[in-house]
Amino acid sequence: MSIIETMRTQLAVLDPVSIEIIDDSARHAGHAGAKSGGGHFRLHIVSPRFAGFKTMARHRLVYDALGPLMKREIHALSITARTQEEN
């Protein structure tokens, strides 16, 4: 399973309506995180679970869902987390 497929599987706990994951790792070749194997990703996720939460709390939900991936496979993650009403 690819890292993006694994991320999608882990993020399923947030009941997403849509997920877009973009792998920007190639743009960061030579960066320290890339050398250690951690990728650079952009995540756009829409979920009703974000309702009532501010940006930092939404990001915490994403980080919690991704768990140990954040320590090894993911070096950098840019997150856009919205509800359906905000999308």
Q: 27: domain CATH number?
A: 3.30.300.90
Q: Is residue 13 part of a domain?
A: yes
Number of domains in the chain: 1
Q: Note the pLDDT of residue 39.
A: 87
Short-list 48, 57, 55, 37, CA closest to 13 = 48
pLDDT digits (tens, 9 = 90+) for 51-63: 999 999 999 999 9
Could you tell me the two tokens for 84?
């359906």
Domain of 63, in residue numbers? 3-82
CA distance 32 to 35: 5
Angle, alpha carbons 45-49-53 (nearest 5°): 95
Q: Is residue 22 part of a domain?
A: yes
Per-residue pLDDT, averaged over 16-31, amounts to 83
Checking if the pLDDT of 32 tops 70, the result is no
Residues 6+ apart with CB under 8 A from 5: none
Q: Is residue 87 part of a domain?
A: no
For the chain, percent of residues with pLDDT exceeding 70 = 89
Per-residue pLDDT, averaged over 37-66, amounts to 95
Q: Note the pLDDT of residue 1.
A: 86
Give the full edge-to-edge strand order of the sheet including 39-46: 18-23, 39-46, 74-82
CA distance 9 to 13: 8
